[in-house]
Each structure stands twice: as C-alpha cells, then as structure tokens.
A and B are shown apart, each in its own frame.
Chain A
Amino acid sequence: MKFGSFLLKRLLLSIFVIFGLSIVIFIIARVVPGDPARMALGPRAPEEVVQRLRQEMYLNKPLSEQYFYWIRGVLSGDFGRSLVTKRAVSEDIKEYLPATVELAIFAGILMVFFGILLGTLAARYKDTWVDNLIRILSYFGVAIPAFVAAIIFMLLFGYYWPILPVLGRLSSGISYPTRITGLLTLDSLIQRNFVAFWDAFKHLILPSVALSLAHIFQDARINRSAMVDNMRKDFLSAERGYGIPERVIMFKYLLKPSLIPTVSMMGMEFANIFANAFLVEMIFNWPGLSRYGINAMMSKDLVVISTVFVVFGAIFMVMNIIVDITLAFLDPRVRFSTSRGI
C-alpha cells in the first residue's frame, strides 16, 4: 500500500515538472522576436494568407491564452507545423523518435552490461592489475565527451579502417523494412529480414558505442566503489564463513545491494545519453529526434523546439519513474520512506 502511494506521488510530481518545463520553454519561445506566421509562410506570401495563419495560430491573443491553446493542441496530438520540414510536427516525431529510442536503448544496454561487468571485475580483482587498468581507463573514458569519441570513430572507421558504416541507419542499397515499431532491428527481425537486421545492427554499433563510452566508465566506477564499500560489511564475512564460493557471493549477494547507487546513477546517465545524442546524431547523420531538435534549434524553428522539449521531458519522466520502481524493488528501505531523489 505504501508503495502504491509512493508511486502516485512520483507520478504527480513528474507531471507537474513537465508542465513547469513546458511553461518555461513556451515563454522563451514566444518571447523571442519574430513573427511565426510570417516565418512559416515566407516573405512573399500575400498578407491575407499570413493574417489567416496568424489567426489560426492564435498569435493575436494574450500569452496565457496562447499557452492554453498550445497545451490543448499538445494533449490532442497537434503540435503545429515545422518551419524546416514543412510538415506536421507530430508526423516528424513519429518518424524520428524511434530512431533515437533505438539508439538510446542500444547505448543503454551497452552501458548497463559493460558498466556492471567492468565494475564488478574491478571490485572482484581489487588492487590487482585488472582493477588498476579498469580504473585508469575509467578516468580517461569519463573525460572523453561523446562528440569527441564520435568524431574519432568517424575518422577511424570512415576512412582508415572502413569496416563499419558511419552514415545513417541503413546502407543506401537496402530498403527499410515495413514499419511496425519503428525500431529497425526489431522490425526486421519480426519480418525475418536478416539482411536488413544485420545492416541496421552494424549501423547502430558506432553511434551507440560513442554515446555510451563515458557512461560505461562512470557506471563502472560507481559500481566498483559501491561493491567495495559493501564488501567490507559484516554480512559478507558471515557468508564467507559459511563457505559460499566467491563467485556466488559476488554475483548473488553482493551485486544486488551494490546496484542501488548504480541504478540511480544509471537513470541519470540514461537521461544524459539522450542529451548527448544531440551531438552524436548530428555527426553520424542519424535521423533521430535529437538531430531534428538540433536542426530546429539552429534554424530557430520554435514550434519544434518547444515540442521536442516536452517530448523529451515526458521521456525522462517515464524513465525516472522506472528507475524509482527499480530502486524500490532493489532496496526495501526506499519503499518505506518518502524519497526525495538523489
């Protein structure tokens, strides 16, 4: 029962946060000088047409009314029209969101898998060369920004060592599988189109690795220190006293409590993956929501900027809730207190 109310509180909080964000962004977007209707139609459009569009966009009404109409539109799925693609933003989002989600999921899988693996290895073999190597790598890895890693990969694999593709989601020779989820790897698997699957997979490798690199090492460090901290605790000596093999201790009894800080870190890191995706998508020409967002930012496409923001905010809200649920699952202490986050 406590858990249910905890969840409800979190949900309400997140919704409030999203609204707050949307207000901030909306104000910024509307305050910026420029006539959105004129910008959308071009300078040579006849004045009556622009007037009509202005009326449609409620530009003549006060700011608070405009916000109300915008929210109403957002809730019913009408986000307006993009200046750059000249299409409904909802269509654009439908097309580009799965690309970013696919990339983020891959990067996330890499981050979770390798982060925990490296952290556990380092803790297991603490103070040996394995540990030291991983620690040194971690220091460097964390310091390499995603866009630097991406550019270096571009250089290496685009030119010197062309074994992996560096552009887009599919090679130009291969056509997209019919869209079910929008995630190319999943769609092509469902339709047993292995050619497309392998190609899409290859295209995912470089961007996801570039994206997850810093986070893998960050997670490895947190995991390692959490495990090391826990290793000294009493319950471990008890288990060793019982003769339980080291490997079992490591993975079964130690991992779970050590995951608590790791998981909360990962939640934040996953959000950072989406943020870093902006630059990585730009470099690898990945047709995702982040690149769409960056294009909009650079072209002052305000409608899109606001919408992309709200969408990302909603994504983070969902992710934070998932992280909180996972934390509650892992650590019974959390369920019985009102947590205030990290």
Chain B
Amino acid sequence: MRNSNQPNNSIAISLVRPKSIFWINLGKNWYKFSRNKLSIVGLVIVAGMIISAILAPWIIPYPDHTGPFVDFENAMQPPSLQNLFGTDYIGRDIFSRVIFAFRGALIMAVVVLAIAVPPGILLGLIAGYSQNTWIDTIIMRITDVFLGVPPLMLALAIASVLEPNLMNSMIAISLTWWAWYARLVYGMASSVRNEYFVIAAHLTGASKFHILLREILPNCLSPVFTKMALDVGWVILIGASLSFVGLGEQPPTPALGQMVSDGAIYMPNLWWVIVFPALAIVLAILGFNLLGDGIRDMLEIGRD
C-alpha cells in the first residue's frame, strides 16, 4: 500500500483519513479481528470489566464495605452465598471490594495513558520530523534516559519519594510511560516523513503543524492504538505492584495489589483473601492482552 512510486494524490487521501476508512471498512476490520477467537474472548473480558467498573457503585452488593467499615463478627468468613468471595480480616466483603478495585485500576490506567500518551506522541513527532537536528538529538536522548530503566523500577523510585496516594502513583507511572510512545512514534514518523506526499505538502506551502498533525500523525496511529490497548493491562500491573508495596490507593479504598499483600499474611487458612484479587489482576492483564492482539491483527497488515 505504501509504494512511493505510485502517484501521490490517491495515496495521500487514503493515508490521511484512516479514521473514516476504519468505519467504512468496519465489516472487513471486524472480520480481521474476529478471526482469532481469543481476541473475542479478550473483548468480552474487557467489555465486562468496563461495564462492571462503570456500574460498580450500583451493582456491588455491599457498597459501604469499600469505605470505612468494620464488622468483626463477620470477619474471615469463607466464600458463601452472602459473600461470594468471602470476607476479609475485618469483615469486609471481598467481592464488592474487588469490583471496586477494578474500577480504580481502570480509571488509573485511563488517566495515566491520557497524561502520558499525548506528550509522548508530540515529542516523537517533533523529533521524527526534525530528524538529525539538535532538537531530534535532545529529545531522543532524554527519551533514552527514561527508557534506560525498566518502568517498574522507575515508578517505584518516584512513587516512594512522594506521598503515598493515588495521584502520586499515577504521576510516577505516567513519568515512566511517555517515553515508550515517544520512541514508537519517532520511529514511524522518521520513516513517513520521507514519503513523497509529505514532501509534496511541504512544497505546496503547508505549515509545519498541518504536516505534523494531518499528514504524518495519522499514519503512525495504528501501532499507537495497539500499544495503548496492550498498555492498559501493563499499567494495571504496575499499579498493582505499586499498591502491593503500599504506594497507591490508601486504605480503606481497595486496590488490587494492596489486597494481595494484605492477604498474604493470612495464608494459607484464609486463601480467598488473596486468590480472588490475584485472579482479578491476571484476568485484567489477560483480557487487555488478548484485546490488544486482536486490535493489532485488525489494524496492521500482513500478519499471520
């Protein structure tokens, strides 16, 4: 499709409006997506998570258990009809807390990506466009610095010197995340920028903004979307790791990693206190991984 020997106009148009093309080809895209049954499973899981997260305050059986609440009489009960996942060491219903924690995790992932992705894309675009100038070098070197260390480690370090709360853990993760998008977009932008249609636009006097945002950017978007879908799962994972260590949502608000770490003490007798939050984490990551793979199948060309 990207054969630069072909005349520019048709390619320019088809490349510039991928969004409309996406909806026009919805049927074809859906086919590509659903060819892999696992992607459908991912979609179902993720849709389920999102719906239950949105409706959480109304559908969970014991909404006040997610706030300040103690009930020693009912503490440490195994799973039963009243408490699907059992109760924890001070009597709170684990099922309600897990669903509520899902909600927190999803919100955190959305916020983190919203904070991290746009600057990352922007920087990657600028660097890719002004290739081999000093702007490019500076931006990419800074990116390298932030990528030099695995995200979990950097997030831990930043979150640990700040006050432990949800906002700060989101900031910490965002700080580690933007660089991945910058690098990704940089790679794509620096190759697209050499395409004829970009040069054509430049020649016809289009402003830098126009070139960046309407010529180059749309062509970098498909791997970005794929990565975003996959990343929700990883952000949830890092968020859980942070709350496992106590840096994140503070009690009594439930957080998945924090529930796992709390439950570890009561093992193995009270297995339900750990097993269900852990399963929830695994399910979340699994769902988004499958979904992300499906999206990649749908958006990218020439895969198995």
Contacts and interface: CB of A to CB of B under 8 A. Distances in A.
Nearest to B151: A275
Contact of B156 (A158, A294, A340): A294
Contacts of B158: 28
- The size bracket of the interface on A is 35 or more
A28 B286 contact: no
Interface of B: 38, 140-142, 144-145, 148-153, 156-158, 160-162, 183, 187, 233, 237, 240-241, 244-246, 257, 260, 264, 267-268, 271, 274, 278, 281-283, 285-286, 289-290, 304
Contact of A340 (B187, B237, B264): B187
Contact of A139 (B38, B149, B245): B38
Contacts of B162: 32
18 contacts: A17-B141, A17-B145, A20-B144, A25-B157, A28-B158, A143-B283, A143-B286, A145-B241, A151-B278, A155-B268, A229-B304, A272-B152, A275-B151, A275-B153, A278-B152, A298-B246, A305-B160, A309-B153
Nearest to A142: B289
A66 interface: no
A154 interface: yes
Interface string A28-64: 1100100000000000000000000000000000000
Given A17-B148, A228-B304, A272-B152, A279 B142 contact: no
A340 B145 CA distance: 14
A276 B151 CA distance: 10
Contacts of B244: 147, 279
Contacts of A309: 149, 153, 157
Given A28-B161, A309-B157, A143 B142 contact: no
Contacts of A13: 141, 144
B144 A272 contact: no
A176 interface: no
A313 interface: yes
A316 interface: yes
B43 to A, nearest CB: 14
Given A16-B141, A16-B144, A144-B282, 12 more contacts: A14-B148, A17-B145, A17-B148, A140-B282, A143-B285, A144-B285, A159-B267, A271-B150, A275-B151, A278-B152, A298-B246, A340-B140
A231 B40 CA distance: 27
A244 B281 CA distance: 47
Contacts of B149: 21, 271, 275, 309, 312-313, 316
